[in-house]
Structure 1
Amino acid sequence: MVHQTHEPAVQPPVETGSAAPSGRIRAGISSHWAGLAACAVVVPLSFLVHLLVPSIPVMTTAVVLGILAANLPGTGRLVEGPWKKGLGFAGKKLMRAGIVLLGLKLSIVDVLELGWATFGVVVLIVLLAFGGTYLLGKAFRLPGDQPLLVATGFSICGASAIGAMSAVRRSRDEDTVIPVALVTLCGTLAIAVLPLLAGPLGLGPEAFGQWVGASVHDVGQVVATAQTAGTSALAIAIVIKLTRVLTLAPMVAAAGIIGRRKGRADGGEEGLKLPPIVPLFIIGFVALVAVRSIFDVPVEVLEVATIVQDVVLAAALFGLGSAVRIRQLFASRGASLLMALSSWALIAGLGYAGVLLLQM
């Protein structure tokens, strides 16, 4: 009688330690590399366009290229296919990194040198622009978080503010991309239109710089617009613009608090994850503002940080632009476009009123 010996079945090795995570990392890289490679091509191209035509900001070019990539037949398939995950990563994660680095541009000392009167007027403009734009968004029946995001971008600092607010609100992607397209469109219009109005409105270089800093959306757009009136206009425009940027943290924090209260009211206590009061990247932004305000940061460090910030924000805005479909801008008979143009006129009017108030 033959006795069969049953040897224990050989089990496949169990992934331990770094094996499983490394596999996930490799899978993540393989699914993102194509979109990130597209960003790596577009970012230098955006800088090249800016070098050839200095009046066109890098960020504006990046958004426009993203919109074109999404809506042209050939590249549109790539955007929807192999590029999708990488572009989504750029639009979210790289945007947050760029917002953190934006803090190094802002020194509380520069803001205080404006004087309390100017600071108060700038904050008042931000609040009125935010509230007015939000109400316009509701009046034009923009869906979801779009009224809030458009109000944030138009009143504070363009696409960067939209990215920050959408993160704390956990807005849908489709609610984020339209505000980014609108703020880019109106900021580009400001570059062309505002310098033409300086003479008829009787604004000298300094007053023009105040107007631009108080009413143009993105930092790059402010630079492109104000430099047409000389260095004095550019200097004051940047400081006033960065004063508006300073309101980003408290506005986002307020949205976080409201979001948590709403989350609890909607059943957050039953296990739903509530949005953070202040996202980690906003804390990083505030920390770098403090570093710039307290310490004498070397010029070389600031220059490198500016380049890195421009690179990551350009990649982020290309990613966000690639999510825009032209037909969405003309949905509901172009309600979003009409609302954005109305808000642009409102903020330009508030900025001009602020300049007149400061001259009294």
Structure 2
Amino acid sequence: MADAGREGHNSGVLSDDPRVVRPSRGHRARTWIAGFPRLLPGIAIAALAAGIAYGVNAFVPLLSALLVAIILGVLLRNTGLIPAAAEPGFAFVGRTILRLGVVLLGLRLSIPQVLELGWGVIAIIVVTVASTYAIGLGLGRLLRIEHATTVLTATGTAICGAAAVAAMSSVVRSDDEEASTDEAAATAVASVTLFGTVALLALPPLAALLSLAPNAAGVWIGAAVHEVGQVVAGAGIAASHVTDASAATALVDTAVVTKLGRVVMLAPLVALVGALETRRAQRIAAEQVSRSEADDVLAGRRVDHTRARDTSRPPIIPAFVAGFLLMVIIRSLTDLPAAFLAAADSAATILLICAMVAMGAGVRLKKLVTSGAKALGLGAILGVVAAIISLLGTIMLV
């Protein structure tokens, strides 16, 4: 399942061999349409599980629907309830549906709204995101946490929780032959959901204890809490302690826009990491070929210089990231109807929940249990790092 869901990582690599016949776009489209019925069983199961996750979140708002969907996917896989006929559909949901959901996320963002926060708040956002991500990478190496798990946990904590993990999982590569990117993503989603919930409960009383003004409290909560929904909840708790109704409303609005300012950084980060990951994979592959050739020489075997070396170059921006940016531009430059934006937001949420089911279905529970402790520790540390850095910035600049 995990391999099938990730086969697209290499599907776009063009061979340098002139003997390779590349199918036309029209042929690929006809092939995809003809094969679509094979996807329906997996899509149906993922949609059903997503509906259950959505319902659970409606009754228990503190339980993220994305996390519940991941758990349901894990249970389906590890209890043997996914039939073989559903595998193609799960692979489709875990890749194509995931990316479509990320694209629609762009309609949540309006650049003018973010700029209205002022350059001081923007500086807090940039420094918090960059510092949290960089420290996450360094700590992950220090603790010897698997590469993909480190990148995804750092991304989810720095940017926007599970949605950021989902976006980054499309470009990051696991360096553990016994693990998959899906398993790393499941661990990261669990981490950012858990510690984002801790943050939304802890930061409002701390803001009151520190006597932060409503605007400053909104900036801090927006810059430090992980998920957009968690930011709304945390800001609502903080606003409940503000006696001035207009100041309370401004606190919530400031927190949400500050959070969306962090989300804006998702696209450039995914594009950068995607390019670095492809080059990293090419370097590792070249090293493996070189070692194999050296082994042939030492063993007295004929060296096979025809072994494939991947010389392809990744696109500057992955297509789904370009789509995300296009949606941001459309939202920023046009006055879209509120009903349309609400529908697009709901569609993005539903698509991402479905994708989380497929992602969870790529997880081997035994491996997750044995490897998740360090990753949860990393998530806890990064949550504290993000809170401290954003608080210092808020005190100095807001």
Cα distance, 1:115 vs. partner? 0.6
CA contact (8 A) 2:124 2:223 kept: no
Cα distance, 1:142 vs. partner? 1.0
Cα distance, 1:28 vs. partner? 4.6
* TM-score normalised according to structure 2 size: 0.75
Structure-1 residue corresponding to 2:229: 220
CA contact (8 A) 1:226 1:234 kept: yes
Quickly say closer, same or farther: Cα 1:224–1:29, change in 2 above 3 A: farther
Q: Does 1:108 align with 2:111?
A: yes
* Alpha-carbon distance in 2 for matches of 1:20, 1:239: 41
- Give 3-state SS (helix, strand or coil) of 1:167's partner: coil
* Alpha-carbon distance in 2 for matches of 1:140, 1:291: 42
* TM-score normalised according to structure 1 size: 0.82
Deviation per residue, 1:217-257 (Å, 9 max, x gap): 22222223322233433211111111111111221222234
Alignment of 1:209-288 (within 5 A): 209-230=218-239, 231-262=249-280, 265=283, 270-288=309-327
Cα distance, 1:99 vs. partner? 1.0
Q: Report percent identity of matched pairs.
A: 36
Deviation per residue, 1:292-349 (Å, 9 max, x gap): 1111111121111111111101111222233344443442582222222122222222
- Give 3-state SS (helix, strand or coil) of 1:157's partner: coil
What is the aligned-residue RMSD (CA, Å)? Answer: 2.9
- Give 3-state SS (helix, strand or coil) of 2:374's partner: helix
Within the candidate set 99, 118, 131, 2:134 is matched to: 131
Structure-2 residue corresponding to 1:151: 154
Structure-2 residue corresponding to 1:40: 47
Q: Which amino acid aligns with 1:99?
A: V
Cα distance, 1:193 vs. partner? 3.6
Quickly say closer, same or farther: Cα 1:320–1:233, change in 2 above 3 A: farther
Alignment of 1:196-215 (within 5 A): 196-215=205-224
Quickly say closer, same or farther: Cα 1:207–1:144, change in 2 above 3 A: same
Q: Which amino acid aligns with 2:47?
A: A
Within the candidate set 76, 81, 99, 1:78 is matched to: 81
Deviation per residue, 1:54-98 (Å, 9 max, x gap): 444433433343344445xxxx20247554443332222212111
52-61 or 215-224, which deviates more: 52-61
CA contact (8 A) 2:222 2:256 kept: yes
46-55 or 257-266, which deviates more: 257-266
* Alpha-carbon distance in 1 for matches of 2:85, 2:186: 20
Alignment of 1:1-360 (within 5 A): 25=33, 27-30=35-38, 32-71=39-78, 76-79=79-82, 81-171=84-174, 172-173=180-181, 174-230=183-239, 231-262=249-280, 265=283, 270-331=309-370, 334-359=373-398
CA contact (8 A) 1:133 1:147 kept: yes
- Gap runs ≥5 in structure 2: 1-25, 175-179, 240-248, 287-307
* Alpha-carbon distance in 1 for matches of 2:221, 2:342: 24
